[in-house]
Amino acid sequence: MGVDIRLPIGFMFTILGLLLTLFGIFTTGDNALYSRSLGINVNLWTGILMLVFGGLMLFYAYRAKKMIKKD
Amino acid sequence: MFDIGWIDYTIMLVYFVFVLGIGWALKRYMKSSSDFLMGGKSIPAWITGLAFISTNLGALEVIGMAASGAKYGMATTHFYWIGAIPAMIFLGLFMMPFYYGSKARSVPEYLKLRFDEKTRGFNAISFAIMTIFSSGISMYALAVLMETILGWNFNVSIVVSAAIVLVYTYLGGLKSAIYNEVLQFFLIVIGFLPLVYLGLKNVGGWENLKLSLQQVALSHGYEAGAWTETWAPMGSPSSNPMGVEWFGIVMGLGFVLSFGYWCTNFLVVQRAMAAGSMSAARKTPLIGAIPKMFIPFLVIVPGMIAISLISDPSSGFSLPPKNGSYDYDKVIPMMLGHYFPTGLLGLGLTALIASFMSGMAGNVTAFNTVWTYDIYQAYIRPGRSDKHYLRVGQLATIFGVLVSIGAAYMAASFNNVMDFLQLIFAFINAPLFATFLLGMFWKRSTGHGAFFGLLSGTTAAAIHHGLTAPAGATALIKGGWLGTIVHTYPSEMAQNFWTAIFAWSVCFVVTIIISLATKRTHSDEDLKGLVYSLTPRVKDDSKHWYERPVVMAVVVGIIATFLTVIFW
């Protein structure tokens, strides 16, 4: 019954992941910004991690929906 | 210090939109009181399992565990590997069949079915008051944090957080709270992973962290492993910063407090009771136990890194001072500010805000269920239609949030009142597990036995606390308020553990004596489904052998033992 939780989780992490990844790409080489994170572009890496996680959630939600339709 | 910009606010905004959206999407499924207050008893086990640990992973827990990681080091994992995990296994294997299998809709209602009305009333009323105050304290702590680190107005923070929590719990009830807890769980994990990674990289990896903490331990006069080992320094209270020995840990924390919390507190048990089947309900705490075992690496390790950074003046990291020491509760926010650039900082803060709000929502949804079923339906207006109770549940949600706001302001103006209340709740909670253990496994225990056992356990806790004090305590709230101090404990934590041990033992013994002296009021037939020996064993309907609760419990037990041995 109701809403598949994986959809909102998937969408939220995809949106936030996209936001951070783009911001990370845009700020590449900004040494002042990334000095506190030991010179690592953590926005980019965390963004990519979130995109992968969000994508997985959406994939599983999509697969579950397809299986219900088959039945 | 805090490098915050438009992108951080955008991240927070996206989160708020989703939180409210989930509540709004679930609104049309709220047709009966059971949909609203019990999640319709239809939620899959992996969701209830994550919600089960997530509702406890409120921000106070995150902040408190990081503070303990700084103060006591790796030994803080005792709250997990010897504390929560065995209790969660026990709940899943032995207790869940009674909670889920009986017709009880809440933990107090189980007490009513098993014992009598007065035992339920005592539990329901104290629990209802406790949840409201916990929710208020979360709200207060969130507002203080936002005020100190972001410069937000205290009143605005309170009103905004209360309004958001109210909207999503009012619209979607328990299910909305559970869904948001799962969302929050993933946010905390992804938001804190980079913190642990950067922190460990900065101090030169785990081995170097250990070396630096050994220096810290030696400089405090402890043995070298006091901050980095778990059981090795537990030989005597004087060899570790917790000031507790292994027996206090195993009995006080592991047995009495953890089983009391994880097995009888409706706040967490409610998540398992919302599962879709008996099998899913039993698996809820077992599935939750798997991520739970690894949470120490996310919340305790940052505290240890903070101590290592402080010991090295060139790191440029410090904590604000408090009472001649450091304000350890600031570990997490200060670490976020130290390592996270704008962007990721927004994510870290959003994870923190999310856990504050789900801490509030969890308490509010537990409150409205106990209020509606155990107080309103039981004593005020029995026998009305289900529509009526759905409405009451919704109104209780509004009422609960409003009173929480009051509690938040009370916490802001009289800090001592909150300490006092938390002390009282500790007294009430300490003996509870003895009552449930006897109720579920000894059919001879009676209502009078349970009620007076609880009462004397609570009194024993209060008396023990009044006659003892932790070393160096001056305030009466810390103990010794009965005038004479019979025993001085090396630390406050040792005193808490022993208070719990006393309360539990007194409740256990008194319940047995009074039960034997009073007549049984429930026949064997009445107690079917409520007592272990009178209930047919549940046959698990899992498709595969590896999905059975027993198998999962063994796996969880092996991993927890493995972690314990590695970090011994």
Task: Please report, to the nearest 10 degrees, the dihedral formed by the alpha carbons of residues A26, A29, A34, A40 taken in order.
Answer: 100
Q: Do A53 and B190 touch (CB under 8 A)?
A: yes
User: Cβ separation of B18 and A3 shorter than 8 Å?
Assistant: no
- Hey, what are B243's tokens? 């000031």
pLDDT band of residue B13 (cuts 50, 70, 90) is very high
Q: Which of B60, B33, B46 is nearest to B411 (CA)?
A: B60
Asked if B14's CB is within 8 angstroms of A12's CB, the reply is yes
Q: Where does the pLDDT of residue B276 fall: very low under 50, low under 70, confident under 90, or very high at 90 and above?
A: confident
Mean pLDDT across chain B, nearest whole number? 88
Spell out the SS3 assignment of chain A: CCCCCHHHHHHHHHHHHHHHHHHHHHCCCCHHHHCCCCCCCHHHHHHHHHHHHHHHHHHHHHHHHHHHHHC
Residue B455 has pLDDT above 90, yes or no: yes
Residue B17: pLDDT band by 50, 70, 90 thresholds? very high
Q: Which pLDDT belongs to residue B29?
A: 86
Q: How far apart are CA B304 and CA B331, in angstroms?
A: 10
Please indicate whether, in this complex, the C-beta atoms of A36 and B339 are within 8 angstroms of each other.
yes
Query: Mutate which of B347, B353, B358 to test chain A, going by most A C-beta atoms within 10 A?
Result: B347
Q: Looking at CA atoms only, how far is residue A62 from chain B in angstroms?
A: 17
Query: Which pLDDT band, with edges at 50, 70 and 90, does B164 fall under?
Result: very high
Q: Is B175 in the A-facing interface, judged by CB distances under 8 Å?
A: yes
The pLDDT value recorded for residue B534 is 82
Name residues 337-356 of chain B within 8 A of A (Cβ).
338-344, 347
Put simply, whether B72 touches A (Cβ < 8 Å) is no
Q: Chain B residue with minimal CA distance to A26?
A: B343
Nearby residues of B171 by Cβ (< 8 Å), 6 or more positions away: B23, B24, B26, B27, B30
pLDDT in tens, B187-225: 999 999 999 999 999 998 889 888 888 888 888 888 888
Smallest CA–CA distance, residue B299 to chain A, in Å, is 18
| pLDDT band at A21; cut points 50, 70, 90 | very high
Q: What is the pTM of this model?
A: 0.91
Q: Does B13 touch chain A (CB under 8 A)?
A: no
Interchain CB contact of A32 with B (< 8 Å): no
ipTM: 0.94
Give me Rg for the CA atoms of chain B: 23
> Does residue B320 surpass a pLDDT of 70?
yes
Written as six digits, the tokens of B303 are: 């505290």
B39-66 pLDDT, tens digit each:
878 888 889 999 988 888 877 788 888 9
Q: Shortest Cα distance from A36 to chain B (angstroms)?
A: 5
Tokens for B142, please give them.
């969130």
Which residue from B21, B193, B347 is facing A16, i.e. has the nearest CB? B347
**Which residues sit opposite B196 in a β-bridge?**
none
Instruction: Write down the domain spans for chain A.
Output: 6-70
**Element containing residue B488 per DSSP (H, E):** strand B487-489
Q: Does A24 touch chain B (CB under 8 A)?
A: yes
Q: Do A36 and B3 touch (CB under 8 A)?
A: yes
Task: Please indicate whether, in this complex, the C-beta atoms of B194 and A45 are within 8 angstroms of each other.
Answer: yes
Domains in chain B, CATH or no CATH each: 6-413 (1.20.1730.10), 426-536 (no CATH)
